[in-house]
Structure 1
Amino acid sequence: MQLRLEGISKKVGAETWLHEMSLAPRPGAVTVLLGATQAGKTSLMRLMAGLDAPSAGRVLVDGQDVTGVPVRERNVAMVYQQFINYPSMTVSQNIASPLRLRGERDIDARVRALAGRLHIEPFLDRLPSALSGGQQQRVALARALAKNAPLMLLDEPLVNLDYKLREELREELTQLFAAGDSTVIYATTEPGEALLLGGWTAVLDAGELLQYGPTAEVFHRPASLRVARAFSDPPMNLIAAQATDGGLQLRGGPLLPVSLPAGAGASRDCTVGVRASALRVAPRPGDIALPGTVELAEISGSDTFVHAATPVGELVAQLTGVHDFALGASITLHLHPSQAYVFGADGALQRAPERPGAARQGAR
């Protein structure tokens, strides 16, 4: 199914919720809508589903204009943040409901197959209220999958689950989406979730569509500072700099010997962006040194996040492994110039790292 949004916008009273944009999600693939809260993700999904009509522009499905056609007249499956199930129906009846509406055969077998894929088969005879939050959301996902709609919309479906359940369901959803042929639109605030799901990513901010493309491409080559901020977790380190004939002079720090595109003049203000994973404590040939003091060190999973005060500003380093740093201790972070992003005074990307597919670097 080919969904296409042409010049759509959404206004509510005097407020603009969605600025004019056009978007054609990849058919049969996952498109992630990535952005902070109130970026416009839910508003955009409601237009896609037919729950709302755009203030301007058109919504087309396979070339047919469906602008203003209500959701009940479209073949759309939706999963929300909340655990929305039929409370008086058992888990089995919830999953079977779209199958019965279509008059399908072998309903029991299909229900059990879906329940097995989502690990809720032992709960088929229970009511949703007897399940945990994670189990209830699995029921909602199973019902959406049972509908087998050509368009599946998931609005931050894992946000209300605990960390462990989110990790489990992310992996399962990736496999489920890969096995299906629906066009999947998945809204999230988490860059890591977008990277895990892969596919394509549309970055939204304050109702604007900033960039759309293959997820890895958008991550490694953010078109602007706004995209880089939205697609970095932890946030990208940003350092004020000035372009010179010899490279980039970091404000308060060393010269970064990098080449800018032809035509980039000297004495031009710019911003150097450094992902936390590009900083390390063990130097390598060609690295520049950024000395500082430890302000905070925290362990998350198998990584250690170190916040350091340096002459160029506060930097966050994501180091592989578990490390012990005393607060106030001296630390020197190292960066290879090839790992630096450069954004112009207008915020547009001027230079991306030389090896965008390189493995994440950390402490050794």
Structure 2
Amino acid sequence: MQLSLEHVGKTVGPTAHLYPLSLNLAPREVTVLLGATQAGKTSLMRVMAGLDTATIGRVLADGVDVTRVPVRQRNVAMVYQQFVNYPSMTVAQNIASPMRLRGERGVDQRVRELAARLHIEPFLDRLPAELSGGQQQRVALARALRKQAPLMLFDEPLVNLDYKLREELREELTHLFATSDSTVVYATTEPGEALLLGGHTAVMDAGELLQYGPTAEVFHAPRSIRVARAFSDPPMNLMAAEAVAGGVRVAGGEVWPLALPADAPARLTLGLRAGGLRVVQRPGDVAVPGRVELAEIAGSDTFVHVHTAVGELVAQLTGVHDCPLGDPITLYLRPDQLFVFDAEGPLVQAPARAGRAG
């Protein structure tokens, strides 16, 4: 399906849930809606599905205006954060229901194959009430996938699952989406999930569409500070600076060497993702001394919060590091890995990507 939104907005009373936006989804690809809670992702998906009607603008499906066509008259599959299953049907019957409605053959075998991929094959003869919340959510996912609707909407479907299973299912869903003919819209708060799913990403914040494009391009060239912070976990480190001869002067007076465009503004904000900070110096690095304020171990990484002269920084260090609170620490970064923004927000310059000029 080619889904297009033309100047679509949604208000409820005096409150704007969606500010007017236009969006043409790539057909038969994944579009990720990325943004924090209350960014407008669910409101936008409900308008796409026909559960809600846009206050202004039009929704077009393959060129046909469906703005006021209710969801019952659209061929759409949607999975919410909270699972929705038929309580009187077994797991197998829930998954098979869309196929049986279409009169398909070989239903049982395909149900077992999909159940195995989503790790629910042992539960096919059970009722949903006999399953855990995570298992019921996987049943809802399987039923939506088997419906094979031309438009499939997933509203943070893995958020209530445990970490290990969430990681496994992300990879499995990526493969399933890649072999599907459906247009997929997938909402998430997690930048890592957007990168794994690939396709295109629409970054949203407070009801606004900030940027839309191929996921890798949005990640490597966020057009504003708001996009950069939304597409970084933890949020991108930001440092005030000014353009000077030979580079940028940061708080504390030090000048870091950095080639800037000739028309760069005088007042700048420098951005650096947490993974761009190190505790071991490499050629071309500049040193940023500071003091440890907090150290968090998350999985195989350590997130170190450091108070420095250039601002409060968070470094993502691979492995488990012992960083006692209050201890001095020196972080290192390469100036050519910095994002440069106008102090007012727009992107001035992004770091050159490996294998690309400029």
1:253 Cα deviation from its structure 2 partner: 5.0
User: In the TM superposition, what whole-angstrom CA distance separates every residue of 1:49-100 from its partner, at most 9, and x where no partner exists?
Assistant: 0111111111111111111101111110010001211111110111111122
In structure 1, the residue corresponding to 2:135 is in which secondary structure? helix
- Which of 287, 290, 294 aligns to 1:289? It is 287
Q: Deviation digits for residues 116-157 of structure 1, max 9, x if unmatched?
A: 222211111001111122211111111001111011000011
- CA–CA distance in structure 2, aligned partners of residues 105 and 249 of structure 1: 69
Query: Residue type matched to 2:310 in 1?
Result: V
Q: Tell me which residue corresponds to 2:177.
A: 177
Give the whole-Å Cα distance in 2 for the aligned partners of 1:19 and 1:153: 20
2:352 to 348, 351, 354: 354
Corresponding letter in the other structure for 2:232: S
Structure 1 residue 165, shift from structure 2 partner: 2.0
How far is the alpha carbon of 1:178 from its aligned partner?
A: 1.2
What does 1:263-278 correspond to in 2, within 5 Å? Answer: 263-265=263-265, 268-278=266-276
Can you list the C-alpha shifts for 1:295-353, whole angstroms capped at 9, x where unaligned? 11122121111111111111110111222122211111001111101110220000111
Q: Contact 1:253/1:312 (CA < 8 Å) preserved in 2?
A: no
C-alpha distance in structure 1 between counterparts of 2:40 and 2:166, whole Å: 23
Deviation at 1:356, TM superposition (A): 5.8
| Larger CA deviation: 349-358 vs 205-214 | 349-358
- State yes or no: 1:228 paired with 2:228: yes
Paired residues for 1:140-155 under 5 Å: 140-155=140-155
Any idea what SS the aligned residue of 1:112 has? helix
Q: By how many angstroms is 1:355 displaced?
A: 2.8
Distance 1:4 1:16 in 2: 21
Match of 2:58 in 1: 58
CA apart distance, 1:357: 7.3
DSSP-derived class of the 1:161 partner:
coil
- Letter in structure 2 aligned against 1:288: V
Cα offset for 1:263?
A: 1.8
Stretch moving more, 211-220 or 241-250: 241-250
Q: How does 1:156-167 map to 2 (within 5 A)?
A: 156-167=156-167
Describe the SS at the equivalent of 2:258.
Answer: coil
Q: Match of 1:51, SS?
A: coil
Q: Residue 38 of structure 2 corresponds to which residue in structure 1?
A: 38
Q: Tell me the secondary structure at the aligned position of residue 203 of structure 2.
A: strand
**After superposition, what is the alpha-carbon deviation per residue over 1:257-314, rounded to whole angstroms, capped at 9, x for unaligned?**
112212225xx21100011100101111111110011111122121111111111111
Letter in 1 for 2:64: Q
CA RMSD of aligned residues (A): 1.4
- 1:172-213 Cα deviation digits (max 9, x unpaired): 111111121211100011111111111110000111100001
The match for 1:242 is: 242
**Structure 1: any 5+ residue segments left out of the alignment?**
359-364
Count of aligned positions: 356
Rounded to whole Å, the distance in 2 between the matches of 1:132 and 1:115 is 15
Distance apart, 1:107 and its partner CA: 2.1
> Are 2:320 and 1:333 equivalent residues in the alignment?
no
Q: How much has 1:43 moved relative to structure 2? A: 0.6
State the distance in 2 between where 1:243 and 1:276 align: 23
Identity %: 73
Secondary structure of residue in 1 paired with 2:115: helix
Moved more, 117-126 or 253-262: 253-262
The one-letter amino acid of 1:221's match is A
Which residue in 2 is equivalent to 1:78?
Answer: 78
Aligned counterpart, 1:362: none
Matches within 5 A, 1:314-325: 314-325=312-323
SS across alignment from 2:145:
helix
Instruction: Report the CA distance between 1:245 and its aligned residue.
Output: 2.1
With the length of structure 1 as denominator, give the TM-score of the two structures. Answer: 0.95
Maintained 8 Å contact 2:240/2:343: no
Query: 2:303 aligns to what SS in structure 1?
Result: strand
CA offsets 1:14-47 (integer angstroms, 9 cap, x no match): 1111111110111111110001111110010011
The 2-side partners of 1:135 and 1:341 are apart by 42
Q: What is the distance in 2 between the residues matched to 1:132 and 1:175?
A: 25
Tell me, which stretches of 5 or more residues in structure 2 are unaligned?
A: none
Distance (Å, rounded) in 1 between the aligned partners of 2:165 and 2:117 = 15
Shift of 1:248: 1.0
Letter in 1 for 2:242: Q
Q: What SS class does the counterpart of residue 97 from structure 2 fall into?
A: helix
Q: Distance in 1 between matches of 2:105 and 2:297?
A: 51
Contact kept in structure 2, 1:253 and 1:311, CA below 8 Å: no
Matched with 2:131 is: 131
Whether the 8 Å contact between 1:256 and 1:337 is mirrored in structure 2 is yes
Distance 1:306 1:356 in 2: 27
Amino acid in structure 2 at the alignment position of 1:172: E
